[in-house]
Amino acid sequence: MANMIVAGNWKMNASKSAVTEILSGLKQGLVGTSGAELVVFPPFPYLAQVQQELAGTSIRIGLQNVCAAPKGAFTGEVSLAMAAEFGVTYVLVGHSERRALFAEDDAQVAAKYVATQAANLTPILCVGETLEQREQGQTLAVVNAQVQAIIDAAGADSFANAVIAYEPVWAIGTGLTASPAQAQAVHQAIREHVAKVAPVEAASMKILYGGSVTAASAAELFAQADIDGSLVGGASLQAESFLAIGQAAQ
């Protein structure tokens, strides 16, 4: 069974033809990636295509964002029930681009997390500090507060069916990666924070690292005790580089 999760967040990229190109590359190259569960997060319009092209494979499908409400007058939003019809299993909640560009606060993130679990899907809670916060020594306080907002809303035992992704904002899309030691320190702190109230769930929950992960940086990150995979943006848009990260999880 795969121990790691390697998740590819395509963000607002790809096209019908690019989807086919990425997915056919992934399907052809899956050999050597059994150490990781691979998950792709396409833009909404491609979900049906992705579901069809991945049918019968081990690659899972995720949603980049979701509406916490079940249905109705929410122009432009997509529900969990809709996502489930397209074979989605994971949902990103609180990605830093949603927090920064679309003003999602901890309360909205928590509502999405709770709704995702209620729909029997698995939230991937994204947390991370800005460069300014890191330079001011606030990294652990910021990240633990983001995790605590979920503990307050959903309970720490909810992490039995959730994944956390630590993504320093300064490392996303910048080519800067946290060093393996920097990442490990934050991952360990997150696990210890959850363990104060839910030790069993804390021990087994997966914490992914994200922020400019490439095949070159993945192996050393994955060797850290508290790093259980990665959330990959840029390098997930090419099958070859995404597969190489999956192979680093062996």
Binding site for ligand PGA (CB under 6 A): 9, 167, 172-173, 210-213, 231-235
CA distance linking residue 9 with residue 159, whole number of Å: 21
Q: Minimal distance in Å, beta carbon 165 to ligand PGA? A: 7
Q: Which of 37, 104, 167, 201 is catalytic?
A: 167
Q: Tokens 């309360």 sit at which residue?
A: 107
Q: Minimal distance in Å, beta carbon 200 to ligand PGA? A: 28
Q: Which of 95, 97, 129, 187 is catalytic?
A: 95
Q: Which of 244, 249, 160, 248 lies closest to 202 in space, CA to CA?
A: 160
CA distance linking residue 215 with residue 45, whole number of Å: 28
- What is the identity of the amino acid at 53? E
Active site residue 187: no
Residue nearest to ligand PGA (CB): 233
Compute how many other C-beta atoms are within 10 angstroms of the C-beta atom of residue 52: 11
Closer residue to ligand PGA, CB minimum distance, 64 or 156: 64
Question: What's the residue count for the chain?
Answer: 250
Closer residue to ligand PGA, CB minimum distance, 100 or 107: 100
Closer residue to ligand PGA, CB minimum distance, 210 or 229: 210
CA distance linking residue 192 with residue 103, whole number of Å: 29
Closer residue to ligand PGA, CB minimum distance, 66 or 156: 66
Give the Cα-Cα-Cα angle 28, 29, 30 (nearest 5 degrees).
Answer: 105
Closer residue to ligand PGA, CB minimum distance, 194 or 235: 235
Q: Minimal distance in Å, beta carbon 170 to ligand PGA? A: 10
Q: Report helix, strand or coil for 219.
A: helix
Half-sphere exposure of 49 (CA within 13 A, CB side): 17
Q: Minimal distance in Å, beta carbon 174 to ligand PGA? A: 7
Q: Minimal distance in Å, beta carbon 208 to ligand PGA? A: 9
* DSSP annotation of 103: -
Compute how many other C-beta atoms are within 10 angstroms of the C-beta atom of residue 122: 19
Catalytic residues: 95, 167
